[in-house]
Chain A
């Protein structure tokens, strides 16, 4: 449920991101990237959007580069158009699959249709290059259950006007797009008011169950055939062409660009639908992408990681995310709590700030940080968001633990002649230790849970299988992430209970 709520928040977060089209500080990002990725020999970084086809195209790009002897890394499902585009411009990724219609409407913000060459020329000034179309047009479509459409006699988008009672569930991106819902509704004079924002993968489940009647889809989506849906005819040719292409940084090495260009014209619509269906069926994007190469090479299939290898990788990353952020929360939270315990304006400001940080939805916090310099799509962003999120319990418990010390004991410490530092260190903090530790424990458990959202910005952890499972509507994959995350939260809780016995002075536990 939490994930669902979070995903519906992506739309909100994304609109915020759009507002902050700030220029990223390239030298700083490069510096940071060289630091985080020093273990790999500068692989080409491929991004993809959060839906099956983009994942598959990302895998195709990766294997294409690998077969040319170029090392490449694929950061799956990083988010929507703006996040990917900013990441590409900022140099945090080198390549990602995109569609010409999206580039014209969303990135270049032009009203009419643009020819491929016009788009390529316009992108040059951003330092971004584009391959020829890969071979299929994945345009938007509105889809309905086939039997329902037949019963109501709906064939075209315009026919929806006769049935204003239909419930429409749209992805947040489609709701916001310049070629999305608002202009579509005007073009066809649709009266519908019953609109909800819903995640793409969850939308199919909602459509199947009948909780919505119409949703947006991509025309090559394997789910259309799978769920016996029908795409409504776009009789006014409202949707522009969405030819799939790869966008890449022009600074990318020439052999990599040449390899990507080689993919152009090799993927027709039927083939793409097959690859998408394979990805949905096997729940394995690498395997689906391998289908693309089978005719050409028939070479050894890239061996995927075993489940235990993946689990180890997720666990390490999850611990890194939750651990570092907790450490930062403790290091800054306790001093802030000490300051806040003295009350006054500063105390109110500190508690107010920490409180506001926690009321910002965690996902929105992530999305707000992405466009800022130093952050972007990275582990650092996730750790920073978790750190801010975990601050409040520590600050508040430190402050209240200190304030709860009886006045007579404070005065005894003063009257003894202890210096202020000695009073804090030897008397006040040990006496508040139970409260402080319980704040840290709360913060740790929250962090372990919230860190699953880090996968939304490609930071990995247990959120990775949860997210891809959600995308594939595959419960087993979701559980592969959700169960370890829940177990980790229990272990963290239990370890802190142990720690209480060591860190809380015995005299306070009698």
Chain B
């Protein structure tokens, strides 16, 4: 089976400075690919190029064997879920309305939407009685669960997560990490997760992609990175994170 997403020589410059050098990457079906690296390494840019928030300067991106173009991007976005750091929930809509927004726009039936909503609450361990609340009335962790439900509502083939747990306190973060991993496994979800935390990457990643200064430095399992570093930067990055964890 081919990769779900295939990037070929995708590059992006901001005001002349390269944010992403020509980069190739495959995202395999059913696996969680983790993009990791220091701030400004291009990991978020890569993710945003895939969902079409940033047009690449050159290169091609194939989704499910067809090339992404400005014409088909809107349709493809409905097959991709997107979760960001603070959740990106719309403050004027209740949790329920946020989750159902796109399904309503596409004219799904009430029964279908309600059934899916119950399924998602169960999946993400979100109490149903909080669905009527507005984002400002929810805790950070609850907001991320709602955001996840919104992303999963249309059963997307690909889930993109940009530092989804970055703004949460350690306890909430740990419990959400665990739930998230369970959900991925249960749904056999293809996911691309961006983080700067090596422990999180190791916890989720079937495949870890380490980036630095707009390039992929090394791709492999955590063991590969730890034991067979491609260059001194990889060792440095891993050691730095380990020392933080020990301190």
Which of A's residues lie within 8 Å of B, judged by CB? 408-409, 411-419, 422, 426-427, 430-431, 433, 505-508, 510
Contact = CB atoms under 8 A, between A and B. Distances in A.
Interface bin, chain B: 20 to 34
B184 interface: no
Closest 10 CB pairs of A and B: A412-B88, A417-B77, A505-B92, A507-B134, A415-B82, A417-B78, A510-B136, A507-B92, A430-B92, A507-B91
B93 interface: yes
B102 A416 contact: yes
Given A409-B88, A414-B52, 20 more contacts: A408-B84, A412-B88, A412-B89, A412-B90, A414-B53, A414-B77, A415-B51, A415-B82, A417-B76, A417-B77, A417-B78, A417-B80, A418-B102, A426-B105, A430-B92, A433-B92, A505-B92, A507-B91, A507-B94, A508-B91
B75 interface: yes
Contacts of B128: none
A415 B86 CA distance: 15
A409 B137 CA distance: 18
Contacts of B84: 408, 411-412
Contacts of B48: 411
Contacts of A510: 134, 136-137
A405 to B, nearest CB: 10
Nearest to A416: B102
Interface in B118-172: 134-137, 150, 160
B211 to A, nearest CB: 21
B115 to A, nearest CB: 21
Given A412-B82, A416-B102, A510-B136, A431 B92 contact: yes
B90 A413 contact: yes
Contact of B77 (A416, A426, A433, A505): A416
Interface of B: 48, 51-53, 74-78, 80, 82, 84-86, 88-94, 101-102, 105, 134-137, 150, 160
Given A416-B82, A431-B92, A507-B94, A411 B134 contact: no
B148 to A, nearest CB: 13
Contacts of A422: 105
Nearest to B85: A408
A114 B152 CA distance: 91
A88 B75 CA distance: 64
A505 B82 contact: no
A431 B88 contact: no
27 contacts: A408-B84, A408-B85, A412-B82, A412-B84, A412-B88, A413-B90, A414-B77, A415-B53, A415-B160, A416-B82, A416-B101, A416-B150, A417-B78, A417-B80, A417-B102, A418-B102, A419-B74, A419-B105, A426-B105, A505-B93, A506-B92, A506-B134, A507-B90, A507-B91, A507-B93, A507-B94, A507-B136
Nearest to B79: A417
A416 to B, nearest CB: 5
A105 B75 CA distance: 75
B150 to A, nearest CB: 8
Contacts of B86: 408
Contacts of B93: 505, 507
Contacts of B78: 416-417
B53 A411 contact: yes
A426 B86 CA distance: 20
Q: Could you say which of A417, A418, A430 has the most chain B C-beta atoms within 10 Å of its C-beta?
A: A417
Nearest to B95: A507
Contacts of A426: 101, 105
A287 B53 CA distance: 75
Contacts of B52: 414
Contacts of B75: 417
A417 B90 contact: no
B117 to A, nearest CB: 16
A414 B48 CA distance: 11
Contacts of B53: 411, 414-415
A409 B88 CA distance: 5
A508 B51 CA distance: 28
Nearest to A504: B92
B147 to A, nearest CB: 8
Contacts of B137: 510
B233 to A, nearest CB: 30
Q: Could you say which of A414, A416, A427, A505 has the most chain B C-beta atoms within 10 Å of its C-beta?
A: A416
A408 B136 contact: no
Given A411-B88, A412-B84, A507-B92, A418 B105 contact: yes
Contact of A507 (B76, B88, B101, B135): B135
A415 B80 contact: yes
A438 to B, nearest CB: 16
Nearest to B154: A417
Contacts of B92: 430-431, 433, 505-508
Q: Could you say which of A408, A415, A422, A508 has the most chain B C-beta atoms within 10 Å of its C-beta?
A: A415
B88 A408 contact: yes
